Amino acid sequence: MGEPIYMRKATLDDLDAVYEIIENARQLLKEDGSDQWQKGYPSKLSMQQDIEADSCYLLMYGHTIVGTGTLMLQGDTHYAYIVDGKWNHAGHPFGTINRIAISSGYRGKHFARYIMSTLISIAYGHGVRDLRISTHEKNARVHNLVLDFGFVQRGKVYTGPSDDDLRVAYELNLE
């Protein structure tokens, strides 16, 4: 018999487990040749802030935390300015999905698909019809994931102050 797979909001009691998953993902990105997340972001403090903002979700497999993802229903200021493209619904309210990560012991089981599907459904249930996500150009895992879910590449956004912080930006428009 299998284990239940579901998502729940993270609490501060989950912070260490969430950050361990982020650290696992940071190492995987490095092994993949991406410098995404290699300069200390996301930090433990940023994950704590996600939890305190009620925007950090956990993917559970039975009683085990196997993944995490952040859903910001009110959007993210990093997406206000887009270069080399434009948003399909510029000026409309939007949500953002960020920081999807799977624990190293649970990779290859398509758990990121559960996270993506659930976060999209949660956003939709809150009336959000436009979702945005961005990733490093070398993060093939996220590029493939978002394309599988119908996101469309719209351009690039800066997630920080330097040219190293330029990310490929995607948008999903729901009815």
User: Over the chain, what is the mean pLDDT?
Assistant: 93
- Tell whether the model's pLDDT for residue 163 goes beyond 90: no
Here the tokens at position 63 are 């009683």
Positive or negative: CA dihedral 70, 145, 60, 23: negative
pLDDT at 1: 63
**Which has the higher per-residue pLDDT, 166 or 38?**
166
- Tell whether the model's pLDDT for residue 162 goes beyond 80: no
The pLDDT-based confidence of 165 (bands split at 50, 70, 90) is confident
pLDDT at 73: 96
Cα separation, 46 vs 54, whole angstroms = 12
- For range 11-32, the mean pLDDT: 95
The pLDDT-based confidence of 161 (bands split at 50, 70, 90) is confident
pLDDT in tens, 84-127: 999 998 888 999 999 999 999 998 899 999 999 999 999 999 99
pTM equals 0.93
List strands edge to edge, sheet with 166-173.
5-9, 56-61, 64-72, 95-102, 130-135, 166-173, 152-158
Residues across the chain = 175
pLDDT in tens, 28-48: 989 988 888 888 789 999 999
CATH of domain 5-173: 3.40.630.30
Domain boundaries defined on the chain: 5-173
pLDDT at 157: 96
